[in-house]
Amino acid sequence: MKTLKYKGYLGSIEFSAEDNLLFGEILGIDGLVNYEGKTMQELTKSFHEAVEDYLAFCTDHGLKPQKSFSGMFNVRIAPDTHRNIANMAAEAGISINAFVRKALDEAVSYDSHCLEPTMLMEPEGPAYGSGNVVTFQIPERDLVFARELASRLGWVEV
């Protein structure tokens, strides 16, 4: 997806053939802040104005402005987990990035009706980090996915 960037905010770029108009919205914030223009120059100017208006609105109403997300973040994992992910990605014929993106997409969209609200898990064998038991609060809708992921990573439920 092509985006506009300004002051740490991302904006979408869409085209309406029916209206012969470019339009978009600020991404990653609660609420709808949109903009439009007939040319890329107009769209960019309108996007900048929309960001400035959003920031002014937040200031006027005592709100903390939200920021857009870049779509990138780093995660520290155990080397064995990294190896397992790389192997599973290779078996699937996709990159590690595609594998992790798919797993995360499934995690946030998965819907189940499990009844248990929490799960305790501990790495099996040599632990990464302190080796202490880690308690995860997992929403009911994600328990089946979390159990499957824990199983694939070689973790056990306590």
Secondary structure (DSSP) of the chain: --EEEETTEEEE-EEETTTTEEEEEEESSSS--EEEESSHHHHHHHHHHHHHHHHHHHHHTTPPPP----S-------HHHHHHHHHHHHHHTS-HHHHHHHHHHHHHH--------EEEEEESSSPSTT---EEEE--GGGHHHHHHHHHHTTEEE-
* Residue 132 and residue 97 share a domain: yes
The parent domain of residue 38 ranges over 3-60
Q: Does a structural domain hold residue 151?
A: yes
Same domain? 52 vs 84: no
My answer on whether 85 and 30 are in the same domain is no
Domain count, the chain: 2
Instruction: Check whether residue 106 and residue 147 sit in a common domain.
Output: yes
| Percentage of the chain lying above the pLDDT 90 cut | 34
67: in domain: no
Q: Is the pLDDT higher at 13 or at 144? A: 13
pTM as predicted? 0.49
Please give the Cα distance from 134 to 28 (Å, whole number).
30
Q: Are 55 and 24 found together in one domain?
A: yes
pLDDT at 89: 86
Instruction: Please check the confidence at residue 135 and state whether its pLDDT lies above 90.
Output: no
141 with 87, same domain: the answer is yes
Q: Degrees (nearest 5) of the Cα angle 79, 81, 84? A: 110
Clarify whether residues 88 and 142 are in a common domain.
yes
Instruction: Indicate if 53 and 85 belong to the same structural domain.
Output: no
pLDDT (tens digit per residue) in 68-104: 776 777 888 888 989 988 898 888 888 888 888 888 8
128 in a structural domain: yes
Is 98 a member of any domain?
A: yes
